[in-house]
Amino acid sequence: MSFPRAFAASLRRELALLARSRWDLFLLVGLPLVAVVTLALMFRPGSFNQVPIAVVDADHSALSRALVRALQATPKLQVTASPVALPEAMALMRADRAYAVVYLPPGLEDHKARREDDAVIVYFNAAFQTVASQAADAAQAAVQQALAPPRLQELAHLIGFHPPKVQVSIIGNPQASFELFLETLATPLVLAMLLGCAAVYAVGREWADGTLATWLQASGRRTFAALLGKLLPYVLVFWLWGVAFTLYLAGMRDWHVAGPLGYLLLVQFIFYAGVGALSAMLVALLKDLDTALSVSAFYLGSGLSFAGATLTLNGSPLFVRAWSAVLPSTSYVQIQEQQWVMGSPLASSAVPLAILLAFVAVPMAVAVWGLARLARTGARPMPLRAAPTPERWLGALAQTLHTVAINRPIVLTAVAAVVLYGFYYPSAYSIQTVVKIPVAVVDLDHSPLSRSLLRHLDATRVVRVATQADSIAEAQQLLRADAVDGVIVVASGLQASVLKGQPGGVSVDIKGAYLVRARFVGEALRGAIGGAMQDIVRPIASIAHVGRITVHQRALFNPDNGYGSYVVPGVASVILQATLLFAVAMFMGLKRECGPWRMSHRAFLGTWSAFTLLGSLMSGFFFGFIFWYQDYPRGGNFWGLLLCVPLFAASVSALGLLVGSLFERHERSMQILAGTSIPVFFLSGLSWPFLAMPPLMVALAQLIPSTTAVLMFVQLNAMGASLAEIAPKVTTLALIALLYGAAAWLRLTRASEQPATAPA
């Protein structure tokens, strides 16, 4: 049989299988539609305003009232409460009703009039870093604007100095929009996860069902042609979803592609082709559909954390940098940033493009060899087993735990995956902050002040002066060529303008695809300027004391304000939900495979109790040992955790029993559900606040247990919130557990005839 005929035969066969399987069609059409639309609606605002804060006015003076008015006039903020004391304000923060608290101390106006030192404190909830840090920055800027000039500016006025200003520009994303930053990052990776699940299942079911040899024989034993024909529908469909997403953002949302659009779409096709090839290789090497699905979800789900799009990989452990290098998402994200945001020369994308092509060619070759070898051996996987459920509660509980223990895919998902993720996922954020971003510096002043500024800048942990360019054009060329991540320009005549008391400044250009880095670089540069100015004014400051009213930020519930200490505690609930949900749904799918799957009322309660117990134990391990080992904020309200963890495990277990009963085979649980983890995390409100989401989306998101659990467990672990402060969330979680428990009970205990097994 010729290659084209073998390819066509395999393609026709796969299309026929797809036409008969509602779940495969749902994975190709329904789930991508839900994911793309959800992310598009979620990030459509691009930014968020009216962040709720509280103000504690302990001064009750004309000055303090003026500061409150300045805060109320800030679009980013909404002053929702004015508690009389800090303990009351802290309770609002623990209850998730305020992201920041501005404290105006007693005697503020008198100290200012007498030129005595004092400070306004902006406390912010660093456990919710994305939202709270922006609120704190806005509050600090508003108070500083309303107050008299701080010490350095006042000294500058006395001695004729004027501190330079800092202007931060975000290239390709001047609005600092999260729509361009997060949506373009998350959507292709979600589509890749869904494609991986679909492709692994498509190839793996031939092995699991014993039809591998038949499939290859129908294509004249041309393994390469047969594999191309099988993978093409999946790669093509998900690439078309990617095209639709790209055209939506570039056309309807005006986030124009800075580079060639056709080139970006071609790279997307190569990326998805690589995911398809990797999926086939996993089946060929692992020789087990369940394991291949799990590894695919684990591997492709790493892209959001390990691609270096949030924190840099500089300073990360060797394992993190090595793992990032073997992920196709790392190279794709790099090209997307270069061509969509920066408009880099195509030559800059040559290396990551070559890596993406290697991700197609090498796995494809391994898959062809491995599948042909498997077909010749005629081996079959060992079937899983599930005995009938005993009638009594205790017997059903014991039998359920026994079934989990003897079936490797279920116990690996429910237990081993939680242990693995406890060490694996935090490693991506082990450095906690942006470290040594390479920047190009253009010093047009060549003065003692500019040299002092650059020394202070290079001494920071955030920035590394990689090169000093001779001109702005040269530095901008390095930025667009992806040789540096930022450009800092010291204006000509900076020192002279400072000495004359005239405005002068320093400009910073940062890539628009990396918003997390922009804030860190801006802070580092302002600190360096402050250090350089101190060098100048210190001789005078030592003999001329000028009182100052300063504004300080204080991070709460995450004292180091570390990015990992913010992200991982929130993601922990999503990990615990995903592993338990997959395992329970896998169990129910297995029950359907093995015969009668409906059960008595007491047997249902025993099964539900078994998974609630298992989920509670694994949650205790994660919130206890893993949080202690990784030194994350923990143990704030131990007794609250003891109450809420079983509620969470019960709600997830009930949902898993309900959803799993819909699948005609156990592999469907991982195939259908694994790709939903990233949208589920964003729907939790931790990294993107509810106040920026459509109200209907927020309401529907409450049906997902983790939506409530993510914020609730952060409040309990990091903030030590009382049960009264989290009462609405406890109530919501209890109602969800009752809702899904009742639905699963009706589904699994009906005394009706067993339905026919649906086609695979």
pLDDT at 752: 42
b/e sequence 284-322, b meaning 16+ C-beta within 10 Å: bbbbbbbbbbbbbbebbbbbbbbbbbbbbbebbeeebee
| Model confidence pLDDT, tens digit, residues 361-402 | 999 999 999 999 988 886 677 788 888 888 899 999 999 999
pLDDT at 452: 82
Position 611 in a domain: yes
Domain range for 140 is 44-148
pLDDT at 743: 96
Q: Which two tokens stand for residue 602?
A: 């007491």
Boundary-marking domain end, from 99, 118, 148: 148
Position 520 in a domain: no
Residue 190: how many other CB atoms lie within 10 Å? 27
> Which pLDDT band, with edges at 50, 70 and 90, does 546 fall under?
low
> Which pLDDT band, with edges at 50, 70 and 90, does 525 fall under?
low
pLDDT at 448 > cutoff 90: no
Tell me how far apart the alpha carbons of residues 556 and 633 are, in angstroms, rounded to a whole number.
10
Position 638 in a domain: yes
Q: Which two tokens stand for residue 391?
A: 């009638």
pLDDT at 507: 82
Contact assessment for residue 729 and residue 711, using Cβ atoms and an 8 Å cutoff: yes
pLDDT at 406 > cutoff 60: yes
Nearest Cα to 473, choosing from 485, 487, 490, 491? 487
| Model confidence pLDDT, tens digit, residues 642-686 | 999 999 999 999 999 999 999 999 999 999 999 999 999 999 999
Position 470 in a domain: no
pLDDT at 309 > cutoff 50: yes
Boundary-marking domain end, from 123, 148, 173: 148
pLDDT at 285 > cutoff 70: yes
User: Which amino acid belongs to residue 34?
Assistant: V
Boundary-marking domain end, from 148, 178, 199: 148
Position 173 in a domain: no
| Model confidence pLDDT, tens digit, residues 685-707 | 998 999 999 999 999 999 999 99
pLDDT at 760: 42
pLDDT at 190 > cutoff 50: yes
Q: Give the mean model confidence (pLDDT) for residues 334-350.
A: 91
Domain count of the chain? 2
> How many angstroms separate the most distant Cα atoms in the chain?
95
pLDDT at 758: 41
> Which pLDDT band, with edges at 50, 70 and 90, does 753 fall under?
very low
Position 481 in a domain: no
What's the distance, Cα to Cα, between the start and end of the chain in Å? 29
> Which pLDDT band, with edges at 50, 70 and 90, does 722 fall under?
very high
pTM (2 decimals)?
Answer: 0.90
pLDDT at 335 > cutoff 80: yes
**CATH code, domain with 138:** 3.40.1710.10
pLDDT at 755 > cutoff 50: no
pLDDT at 376: 84
Position 464 in a domain: no
pLDDT at 453: 81
In terms of average pLDDT, the best of 168-172, 385-389, 412-416, 749-753 is: 412-416
| Model confidence pLDDT, tens digit, residues 566-609 | 999 999 999 999 999 999 999 999 999 888 899 999 999 999 99
Position 646 in a domain: yes
